[in-house]
Structure 1
Amino acid sequence: MLNKNNDGKNADFRLEQVIETIKSKDKEAIKALFSNKALDEAENFDENADYLFSFIQGDIDSWEELGGPTVFDSNDNGHKKKEVSSYYYVNTDKERYFFLLDDCTVDTDQPDNVGLYLLLVVKAEDREKIYDGDQKIIYDGYKRLTHAGIYIPLK
């Protein structure tokens, strides 16, 4: 149970790491947060990082968690895997954003999976649109779509 309690704290820490890379506009630092798998599967990671840095308007001054993280945890005969999805509002002095982070924190069989897989960012007022299956951002109907790397769907 103690490990479960740390999932939220670890997710918050990961968000703070992302925020620091945005504040410093450090492409290499944000890249280091992502898993090798995400970097291999991402399209135009460097360009998307640059776009993220320009998309966030103003100075980040606060954030708030939207409920606890969603945790997918498995242990199959000692083969452990944990994936954490966390959801936040991030506020600047000019705008409010919604951040979704998909983070693989443990994978004993595939260490290249460990790290952020997805960082999705939209303006806060567009948050509901990403879940709309007709928009085909996160879902196509009821099917979950896969995106790797930095994803800013509503540019």
Structure 2
Amino acid sequence: MGQALTSKRCYLGLGGNITNELGSPSQHIHNAIQSLEAHPKVTQVKASSLYASKPMGPQDQPDFINAVVGLDTTLDAHELLSLCQQLEQQAQRVRLRHWGERSLDVDVLLYGDEKVNTPTLTVPHPGITQRNFVLIPLYELNPTVEINGVPIADLEQSQDWSGLTRLS
């Protein structure tokens, strides 16, 4: 028998900027959080406030709604990635262009304090330290978390509210 995985505290970034027949970006985020709470291998789900931000990349698209979710899980990192992709599919995500509009994007930001570098997953998320729409909600959830050994409070973008509005 394989050894049981211990629970890891993980953080996911959620965002979206288009409405479809299933709802608005904030509704897609809410639905994803409910699915996480119902998952048998996920516990202690805690969501940040929602934030509005300007899009990265192409500017000819609506602003994004973003949040970060902290959770404990016994899923391994790739199983957690698979769960994130399932949540995107539930929101009928369609990939039209790089950094383009989407109903829901769910990224694995941190998987405990582990580093993962495979063709399908890099953790910590490679853009995490440059994105205030990730760092500010992450800081809201855990002001003492470290990213690559650096306290989040020491990362400039975790204190830079440029282009970001807290919604709730």
Same fold, judged at TM 0.5 (above):
no
TM-score with structure 1 setting the length: 0.31
TM-score with structure 2 setting the length: 0.30
Q: Which has the higher contact order (CA 8 A, sep 6+)?
A: 2
Structure with the largest fraction of strand? 1
Structure with the largest fraction of helix? 1
